Structure 1
Amino acid sequence: MEQRNAGNPIRCKAAVSKAPGQPLEMEEVEVAPPRAHEVRLKIICTSLCHTDITFWRMKDFPGMFPSVLGHEAVGVVESVGDHVQEVAVGDTVVPVFLAQCGECPDCLSPRSNICSALPYRPGGMPRDGTTRFSLAATGEPVHGFLCVSSFAEYTVVDVAHVVKLPAGPELALPPEKACLLSCGVATGVGAAWKVAAVESGSTVAVFGLGAVGLAVAQGSRMRGAKRIIGIDLNPGKFEIGTPTGKKLGVTDFVNPNDIGDKNVSEVIKEMTGGAGADYCFECIGLVSVMAEAFKSSRTGWGKTVVLGVDGSAAPVSVPSFDLMRGRSVVGSLFGGIKPKDDIPVLAHKCLDKELELDDFVTHQMGFHEINRAFDLLTQGKCLRCIIWMDGACSEENGCS
Structure 2
Amino acid sequence: MPLNVRAAVVHAPNEPFVIETLQLEGPGKGEVLIHVKTTGLCHSDLHVYEGKAPWQFPVLLGHEAAGVVVECGPDVTRFKPGDHVIPFLIPHCGKCQYCARPEKTNLCVEAFNRLRPRESHFSMNGKPVSQLWGLGTFADYTVLPEDTIAKVRDDAPFDPICYIGCGATTGIGAAMFSARIEPGSSVIVFGLGGIGLNVVQGARLAGAKIIIGVDMNPAKEAVARQFGVTEFVNPKEIEKLTSHLMKLTGGGADYTFECIGIPQVMRQAFECTNPAWGKAYVIGVAPHGSEVSAIPTQLMMGRQWTGCYMGGARLDRLPEIVDWYVDGKINLDALVTHRLPLERIGEGFRMMQSGESIRTIVVL
* Mean Cα deviation higher: 315-324 or 341-350: 315-324
Q: Is the Cα–Cα contact under 8 Å of residues 90 and 111 in structure 2 kept in the other structure? A: no
Instruction: Name the amino acid aligned to 1:115.
Output: C
1:366 has 2:351 as partner? no
Q: Is the Cα–Cα contact under 8 Å of residues 87 and 165 in structure 2 kept in the other structure? A: yes
Which residue is 1:386 aligned to? 361
Once the 2 structures are TM-superposed, how far is the Cα of residue 119 of structure 1 from its aligned partner?
Answer: 2.6
Which residue is 1:5 aligned to? none
Map 1:131-150 to 2 at 5 A.
131-135=120-124, 138-150=125-137
Cα RMSD for the two superposed structures: 1.3
2-structure distance, mates of 1:39, 1:120: 19
Map 1:1-400 to 2 at 5 A.
8-58=1-51, 62-109=54-101, 110-122=103-115, 124=117, 129-135=118-124, 138-167=125-154, 172-238=155-221, 240=222, 244-260=223-239, 262=240, 264-273=241-250, 275-339=251-315, 341-389=316-364
Deviations 1:263-319 (A, max 9, x none): x2111012123x011100011111111100000101111000110111223232122
SS at match of 1:324: coil
Instruction: Name the amino acid aligned to 1:191.
Output: A
Once the 2 structures are TM-superposed, how far is the Cα of residue 122 of structure 1 from its aligned partner?
Answer: 4.6
SS at match of 1:206: strand
SS at match of 1:267: helix
Q: Is the Cα–Cα contact under 8 Å of residues 89 and 111 in structure 2 kept in the other structure? A: no
Could you list the runs of 5+ residues in structure 2 that have no partner in the other structure?
none
SS at match of 2:299: helix
SS at match of 1:221: helix
Deviations 1:131-159 (A, max 9, x none): 01111xx2121011022100011111111
2-structure distance, mates of 1:308, 1:71: 17
Identity among equivalent positions (%) equals: 38
1-structure distance, mates of 2:204, 2:110: 35
Q: Is the Cα–Cα contact under 8 Å of residues 187 and 334 in structure 1 kept in the other structure? A: yes
Instruction: Name the amino acid aligned to 2:266.
Output: M
1-structure distance, mates of 2:133, 2:355: 23
TM-score normalised per structure 2: 0.97
Could you list the runs of 5+ residues in structure 1 that have no partner in the other structure?
1-7, 390-400
Once the 2 structures are TM-superposed, how far is the Cα of residue 351 of structure 1 from its aligned partner?
Answer: 1.7
2-structure distance, mates of 1:80, 1:123: 25
Once the 2 structures are TM-superposed, how far is the Cα of residue 230 of structure 1 from its aligned partner?
Answer: 0.6
Residues 118 and 314 of structure 1, relative CA distance in 2, 3 Å threshold: closer
2-structure distance, mates of 1:313, 1:38: 34
